[in-house]
Amino acid sequence: MVWDATDVYDNEQLVAKLAANQRAQNFNDNEIVSKIPTLRSGVGSGGISLTSEPEPYDTVSISLNAGGRQSFLDAPIGSFRGPNSLHNFASSFTRAQSYAASKLDSEIHRQRSFFHREDENGAEPDELFDPELMIPSQRGERLSTVVHDVNVARNNLFSYDSFAPITDVFYQDDILSALNNSRSRAGSSVVAQGIPIPQRRMYPSPSFSSIRSSLSMATTASHVNLKKIEDKDGNVVTVLAGQSTAPQTIFNSINVLIGVGLLALPVGFLKAGWVIGVPMLLVCGLATFWTASLLSKSMDTDPTLMTYADLGYASYGSAAKLLISLVFSVDLVGAGVSLIVLFSDSLYALLGDDEVWTKTNFKILSFFVLTPFTFMPLPVLSIFSLLGIISTISITGLVFVCGLLKASSPGSLLTVMPTNLWPDSWSDLLLAIGILMAPFGGHAIFPNLKSDMRHPYKFTGTLKVTYLITLITDFTMGVLGFLMFGFYCKDEVTNNLLFTPGYPSFIYPLISGLICMVPIAKTPLNAKPIIATLDSMFHTNTISENQLGNAVRTVGRFLIRVGVNAVFVGLAIVFPEFDKIIGILGASICFLVCIILPCLFYLKLVRIGGLEKSMVLLVIAVSSGLAITGTWAVIAF
């Protein structure tokens, strides 16, 4: 039989052609394998292109219907090519947002967040997998089931065992089709440990019927690779291989670290003074970089450790995992409250008055603006999150531009305001501790980002670049704001800009719009972990054949999402001071999550010498003292 390199067959034609050829020539297994051409996707929806070059059987990689997954984002654009294509950047960013949205693990007795809980019979650990987002998941399909179903589908396609490709590459369309077919045969759409899988055509059309499907395709990986790892007990486990490159991990890490906390840094410099404030910011950055590397070393002791909660359980059991969940919950609530305050403050400075449009009314308005976003799927929210980091960076640049546009103080870099070298009081210094620590709170997601890397050993190198960029951005914002406004620095530097006359008229709505974009981008993602936990607690995330039960669960999901945003708004009305919210998050949460707990994990999981152990213990003691005094200062003053 002669294969034409330009021939294109759909799957049914391919099977018929192979079967007819086998009957005609009576090939045995080895002959069939030697004559099979390489199968490559990318020719069209459901199509397979056949080339005339034979390839060894055990290296054949086949995508049955991945052709519809190509988009312009896969095309090489400048430095965005290959593993660093725009599509791969987008899918890596979506995975990072998913990890942030699932950092609360309500099952405190489960040893690994992304693994099926082992039963009493000693079954081997099995990773859980979300086939819609193509990532490890706390509540998803068991990976062994996915692999089995896809391999069964491949064998059925070729109708000949020797044709089943031995490959560790699995495409999303194959996975969803195989799972749907498996569930159809079982007569059920829900599996006990699974998540609902939407019914999709096996061969999707290259045109999309909705914006949501387009965004999902653009921001989700089209395939996954598998790898085998060995845990600390010697068990060999098959897991999803990491997909993110070093540049993608740097981008994701910067997005985690650079947030609204930097808007309060000029107030931090005001309270600490130049002599103490600048070194303190540098020490906070270097200390958190060091503890992030300790997290990386702790993860190296067991490749199945993939989340912050996993490290806590491996170190101190379920009690540590419960503490981590409580701390993360407080952090998420505090961050949500700070975003509501930021939203209302920016609009009040531009449009507010003391009668109708007060700060409280703008906070109530934020409830109606932000709540609909919590109902959006993660791929869509990831796009808005990207707008958030762009807005934050733009605000930093805009502060610098404003300083050059105004000739006289306050608000000018040409004529700077008087500043102080030292703190005015001990209370101011203690308040500055939390404010200067707050911008470095990304450790909760760092373990996920490392496990998602193609080459995890490069993670420490990515941290160096990440912290260098973060420190430069934070230092720039703090110095610019302090020089421009001096003793007039308010809760957030953008408020100073909005209340200071003398800038071009377009500056004020531009600043207000950029600030409002940050809560819109980050609040829904910030609420996702709380919502997911409540959904799990009240079982509103399951589907059954009972229509009444499904209706009740739908109402429950609606109330949970509305209720979480209502709590954010209510607390923002009670606690209206942005700098104090940032200060207490930095003093209490950041010291605990970013310094104290990573050091404790390192002491427990890694064997270290006496001198290094003494240094780690000293860091824990000093950090604990600063956390306690900083938290007390925010509450007392």
In this prediction, residue 158 carries a pLDDT of 55
Q: How many domains would you assign to the chain?
A: 2
- State the pLDDT at residue 66: 39
Q: What is the pLDDT of residue 559?
A: 95
C-alpha 400/C-alpha 210 separation (Å) is 40
The answer to whether the peptide bond before residue 410 is cis (omega within 30 degrees of 0) is: yes
User: What is the distance between the alpha carbons of residues 223 and 284, in angstroms, rounded to a whole number?
Assistant: 39
Mean confidence (pLDDT) of the chain: 81
Interatomic CA distance for residues 477 and 394, integer angstroms: 11
Among 154-158, 424-428, 429-433, 507-511, the range scoring the smallest mean pLDDT is: 154-158
- 194 within some domain: no
149: confidence class by pLDDT, cuts 50, 70, 90: confident
DSSP states of 16-79 as a string? HHHHHHHHHH---HHHHHHHPEEEE--SSTTEEEEEEEE--GGG----SS-GGG--GGGS-BTT
Q: pLDDT tens digits, residue range 292-302? A: 999 999 999 99
> Stretch 129-141: mean pLDDT, rounded?
82
Supply the pLDDT for residue 207: 39
Per-residue confidence band for 391, with pLDDT thresholds at 50, 70 and 90: very high
Helix H or strand E encompassing 171: strand 169-171
Give tens-digit pLDDT for 450-462.
999 999 999 999 9
Domain extent at residue 64: 8-69
In a domain, 156, yes or no: no
Average pLDDT over residues 115-123: 60
- For range 573-579, the mean pLDDT: 90
Q: What pLDDT, on a 0 to 100 scale, did the predictor assign at position 433?
A: 94
pLDDT at 183: 61
Query: What predicted TM-score, i.e. pTM, was given to this entire model?
Result: 0.83
The helix or strand, by DSSP H or E, that contains position 569, with its residue range, turns out to be helix 547-574
CB 366 within 8 A of CB 569: yes
Burial (CB < 10 A; 0-12, 13-18, 19+), residue 566, is middle
Residue 470 has pLDDT above 90, yes or no: yes
171-185, 264-278, 553-567: least confidently modelled range: 171-185
Whether residue 225 is contained in a domain is answered as: no
pLDDT score at 201 = 38
| Beta-bridge mates of residue 54 | 37
150 assigned to some structural domain:
no
Please choose, from the candidates 149, 554, 124, 236, the residue with its C-alpha nearest in 3D space to the C-alpha of residue 141: 149
Lowest-pLDDT range of 89-93, 161-165, 628-632: 161-165
Banded pLDDT at 310 (limits 50, 70, 90): very high
Q: Is residue 108 part of a domain?
A: no
- How high is the pLDDT of residue 548? 84
Grade residue 173 by pLDDT with cuts at 50, 70 and 90: confident
**Distance of alpha carbon 431 from alpha carbon 584, whole angstroms:** 9
Confidence check: pLDDT of 184 > 90: no
Whether 32 has a pLDDT exceeding 70, the answer reads no
Q: Which residue has the higher pLDDT, 204 or 461?
A: 461
CA distance 127 to 105: 15
Q: Which of 69, 84, 108 is the last residue before a domain boundary?
A: 69
Q: Which helix (H) or strand (E) holds 96?
A: helix 86-101
At residue 215, the pLDDT reads 59
* pLDDT top residue among 51 and 584: 584
Q: Which of 93-107, 274-288, 406-420 has the lowest mean pLDDT?
A: 93-107
pLDDT of residue 13: 47
In a domain, 559, yes or no: yes
Domain containing residue 366: CATH number: 1.20.1740.10
Q: What is the pLDDT of residue 480?
A: 96
How high is the pLDDT of residue 170?
75
Residue ending a domain, choose from 69, 100, 115: 69
Task: Reply yes or no on whether the pLDDT at 42 is more than 60.
Answer: no
The yes-or-no verdict on residue 429 having pLDDT over 70 is yes
- Give the residue from 452, 447, 458 showing the smallest Cα distance to 89: 452
Give percent of the chain above pLDDT 70: 78
Read off the pLDDT of residues 394-417 as tens digits, 9 standing for 90 and up. Answer: 999 999 999 999 999 999 999 999
Whether 508 has a pLDDT exceeding 80, the answer reads yes
For the stretch 595-633, pLDDT in tens is: 999 999 999 999 998 899 999 999 999 999 999 999 999
Domain final residue, candidates 51, 69, 87:
69
Say whether 419 sits in a helix, a strand or coil. Answer: coil
Q: What is the DSSP letter of 589?
A: I
Angle CA 298–301–306, to nearest 5:
70
pLDDT tops 50 at residue 440? yes
Give the model's pLDDT for residue 72.
54
- Residue 124, phi then psi, degrees to nearest 5: -70, 150
Angle, in degrees to the nearest 10, between helices 359-370 and 547-574: 150
Token match 């052709």: residue? 67
DSSP assignment of 251-284 equals HHHHHHHSSGGGGGHHHHHHHHHHHHHHHHHHHH
Q: Does the structure show a pLDDT above 60 at 419?
A: yes
pLDDT for the residue numbered 422 = 95
Question: What share of the chain has pLDDT > 90, as a percent?
Answer: 51
pLDDT band at 28 (very low <50, low <70, confident <90, very high): very low
CB 131 within 8 A of CB 179: yes
State the average pLDDT over residues 200-214: 44
pLDDT computed for residue 67 by the predictor: 42
Q: What is the DSSP string of 230-250?
A: E-TTS-EEEEEPP-B-HHHHH
Mean pLDDT, rounded, for 331-342: 94
Answer yes or no: is 323 within a domain: yes
Pairwise CA distance, residues 339 & 516, whole Å: 9
Predicted local confidence at residue 76, as pLDDT:
66
Q: Please check whether residue 422 is in contact with residue 503, taking contact to mean a CB–CB distance below 8 angstroms.
A: no
Most confident range (mean pLDDT) of 58-72, 209-223, 314-328 is 314-328
Looking at residue 243, its amino acid is Q
Q: What mean pLDDT do residues 223-249 have?
A: 87
More reliable by pLDDT, 85 or 43: 85
Q: Which of 135-149, 169-183, 242-256 has the highest mean pLDDT?
A: 242-256
Residue 33's Cβ-side half-sphere holds a number of Cα atoms within 13 Å equal to 14
Question: What distance, in Å, lies between the first and last C-alpha atoms of the chain?
Answer: 85
Mean pLDDT of 430-453: 94
Residue 125 is assigned to a structural domain of this protein:
no
Q: What is the mean pLDDT of residues 161-166?
A: 45
